[in-house]
């Protein structure tokens, strides 16, 4: 059997052909996982003795926050692949992932605020993690703004890739700067591999399910948007070709 | 490279070069603050360091698009890019020129403006020091942002959105150093972090800016 490599999907035709049957399954799977996780989490777990029922927002807050970071990391990898190997699908995938990342960041910030009011008495606090997320939100905005501002698609892909790389360095730097700036209310690592610090098991399993659901949802959404970007790019090329043919 | 540096500085100091405008903007912003917050001495004194830092930041931001755009428009950037001078040297020199004409004057002006905002006496030296150390980072980060938006018409606002998040670490460590001095604690750590960020930006961002210019000059 011929050696299948991930790079085969750099071919837009193959990418489209493979994702067409795959997408409905991805969305179905994520819908199933998320429904199961949320029903289990909201209705079949006990209330936390300190936080009451409000802790249940963890099933939305934590996965979306994780995906907000992972979306940026995926964009970083896709940007590097574009700069090094010039695969258009990769550049378009990075472009496609940004709005999804923005949505995840907004969900994380909003659910965090909703959770924060009963927990800490305030919708917002300049706590290191919240502040880092706000800064990440602005990095996303800048990335999307740059894509929209440049006309030539390949130049836009190049410039936004460089921005993503430089932005990643500064995002990391900001994270540690913000820690210096404020010690913060946000609890420490609750999902660490160290069993001691873990959120109680009874909450942990529906949370894992929810995270899995969000990951599959992210994958589905990014693939869907990448397909749209590819189609848009094709129509752009056809338009240019038609314009040239007409003289 | 020195010739390029002198040329850029001379160009910006000339009439129409925008040299005094940055300082004037800084002054105006600082004067606006008491109008917005009230003239109470205690309050102004507490926020003065931060306000001066933000004013310096915004004033540096405003003159960023001059770094490459003017040369881009009349073709001299293309000449510089194809000259024997490496493009990284060009971006480094231009960022340095920007600092000489913006960051440096702003840093020197800041203690004088500190009088207006009732800056506590112990904070003056550290305000000057942190601005002197931090504003080069602003110029170099800004040069990267300017390189990204060099081809975009009316790219000023886009430039701000791209560059301001990148300014956050410098702002945090700079203002925090002065705050720690005002509180009486040791500012050495944050000062060193600030210097480290500046050193890193000077070392690395000219390469990023040069790559970006090469993309835009294609």
| pLDDT tens, residue by residue, A218-237 | 999 999 999 999 999 899 88
| Domain contains A192 | no
Task: Check residue B192 and give its pLDDT.
Answer: 93
pLDDT of residue A184: 44
pLDDT above 60: residue A191: no
Highest-pLDDT range among A65-74, A199-208, B14-23, B82-91: A65-74
Tell me which residue in A139, A146, A170 faces B158 most closely, judged by beta carbons.
A146
- Has residue A223 been placed in a domain? yes
pTM: 0.88
State chain B's mean pLDDT as an integer.
Answer: 90
Which DSSP string do the residues of B68-107 spell out, in sequence order? THHHHHHTHHHHHHHSSS-HHHHHHHHHHHHIIIIIHHHH
Structure tokens at B11: 């160009």
Bridge partners, residue A52, by sequence = A48
Interface of A with B (CB under 8 A): 135, 138-139, 141-142, 145-146, 149-150, 155, 158-159, 162-163, 165-167, 170, 173-174, 177-178, 180-181
pLDDT band, residue A37 (cuts 50/70/90): confident
- The verdict on a CB contact (< 8 Å) between A145 and B148 is no
Cα–Cα distances (Å) from A97 to A38, A192, A228, in that order, read 24, 27, 12
Tell me how far apart the alpha carbons of residues B108 and B105 are, in angstroms, rounded to a whole number: 5
Q: Where are the domains of chain B?
A: 2-216
Residue B127 near residue B111, CB atoms below 8 Å? yes
How far is the C-alpha of B28 from the C-alpha of B10, rounded, in Å? 25
Instruction: Look at residue A32 and tell me whether its pLDDT is greater than 60.
Output: yes
CA distance B207 to chain A (A): 11
Burial call B98-120: b when 16+ CB within 10 Å, e when fewer: bbbbbbbbbbebbbebbebbbbe
Report the mean per-residue pLDDT for chain A.
84
Q: Are B77 and B68 in contact (CB under 8 A)?
A: yes
- Of A6-15, A20-29, A35-44, A198-207, the least confident: A198-207
Distance from CA of A71 to the nearest CA of B (A): 18
Average pLDDT over residues B82-109: 91
Q: Does B148 touch chain A (CB under 8 A)?
A: yes
In this predicted structure, what is the pLDDT of residue A197? Answer: 39
Model confidence pLDDT, tens digit, residues B149-181: 998 888 889 999 999 999 999 999 999 999 999
Portion of chain A with pLDDT greater than 70, in percent: 87
pLDDT exceeds 60 at position A195: no
Question: Cβ B165–A158 below 8 Å, yes or no?
Answer: no
Split at pLDDT 50, 70, 90, the class of A194 is: very low
Q: What is the mean pLDDT of residues A38-64?
A: 78
pLDDT of residue B35: 94
**What is the count of structural domains for chain A?**
1
Q: Which domain holds residue A54?
A: 23-183+211-246
Q: Considering the domain boundaries, does residue A225 fall inside one?
A: yes
DSSP single-letter state for residue B217: T
Q: What is the pLDDT of residue B2?
A: 86
CB contacts under 8 A, B 151-180 vs A, are 151-152, 155, 158, 161-162, 164-166, 168-169, 172-173, 176
Task: With H, G, I as helix, E, B as strand and everything else as coil, classify residue A121.
Answer: coil
Mean pLDDT of B186-196: 91
Cβ A141–B211 below 8 Å, yes or no?
Answer: no
ipTM score of complex: 0.90
Does the pLDDT of residue A190 top 70, yes or no? no
Residue range B13-29, pLDDT digits in tens: 776 656 788 889 999 99
B30 vs A57 pLDDT, higher one: B30
Q: What pLDDT is recorded for position A90?
A: 92
For residue A5, tell me if it sits in a domain: no
Give the pLDDT confidence of A105-158 residue by residue, as tens digits.
Answer: 999 999 888 888 887 788 887 878 888 899 999 999 999 999 999 988 899 999
Instruction: Check residue A50 and give its pLDDT.
Output: 63
Predicted confidence at residue A198, as pLDDT, reads: 47
């Amino acid at each position: 059997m011929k050696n299948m490599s991930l790079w085969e999907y750099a071919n837009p035709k193959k990418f489209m052909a493979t994702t067409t049957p795959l997408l409905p399954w991805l969305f179905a799977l994520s819908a199933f996982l998320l429904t199961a996780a949320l029903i289990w989490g909201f209705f079949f777990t006990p209330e936390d003795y300190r936080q009451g029922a409000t802790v249940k927002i963890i099933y939305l807050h934590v996965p979306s926050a994780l995906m907000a970071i992972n979306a940026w990391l995926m964009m970083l990898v896709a940007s590097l692949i574009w700069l090094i190997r010039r695969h258009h699908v990769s550049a378009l995938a990075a472009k496609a992932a940004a709005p999804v990342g923005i949505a995840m960041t907004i969900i994380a910030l909003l659910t965090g605020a909703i959770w924060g009011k009963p927990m800490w008495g305030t919708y917002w606090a300049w706590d290191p993690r919240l502040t880092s997320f706000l800064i990440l939100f602005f990095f996303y905005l800048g990335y999307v703004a740059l894509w929209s501002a440049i006309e030539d698609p390949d130049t836009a892909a190049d410039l936004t890739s460089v921005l993503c790389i430089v932005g990643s360095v500064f995002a990391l730097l900001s994270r540690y700067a913000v820690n210096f700036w404020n010690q913060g209310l946000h609890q420490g690592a609750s999902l660490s591999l160290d069993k001691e610090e873990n959120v109680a098991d009874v909450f942990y399993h529906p949370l894992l399910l929810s995270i899995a659901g969000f990951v599959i949802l992210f994958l589905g959404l990014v693939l869907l948007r990448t397909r749209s970007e590819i189609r848009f790019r094709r129509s752009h090329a056809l338009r240019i070709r038609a314009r040239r043919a007409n003289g | 490279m020195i010739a390029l540096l002198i040329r850029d500085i001379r160009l910006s100091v000339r009439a129409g070069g925008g040299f005094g405008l940055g300082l004037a903007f800084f002054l105006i912003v600082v004067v606006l603050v008491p109008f917005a917050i009230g003239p109470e001495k205690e309050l102004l004194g507490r926020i003065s360091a931060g306000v001066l830092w933000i004013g310096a930041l915004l004033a540096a931001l405003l003159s960023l698009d001059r770094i490459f755009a003017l040369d881009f428009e009349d073709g001299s950037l293309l000449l510089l890019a194809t000259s024997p001078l490496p493009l990284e040297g060009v971006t480094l020199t231009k960022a340095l020129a920007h600092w000489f004409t913006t960051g440096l004057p702003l840093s020197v002006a800041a203690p004088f403006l500190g009088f207006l905002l009732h800056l506590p006496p112990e904070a003056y030296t550290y305000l000057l020091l942190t601005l002197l150390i931090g504003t080069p980072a602003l110029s170099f980060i800004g040069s990267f942002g300017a390189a990204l938006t060099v081809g975009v018409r009316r790219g000023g606002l886009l430039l701000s959105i791209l560059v301001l998040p990148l300014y956050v670490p410098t702002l945090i460590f700079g203002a925090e150093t002065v705050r720690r001095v005002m509180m009486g604690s040791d500012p050495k750590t944050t000062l060193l972090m600030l210097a480290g960020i500046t050193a890193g930006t000077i070392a690395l961002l000219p390469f990023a800016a040069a790559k970006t210019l090469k993309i835009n000059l294609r």
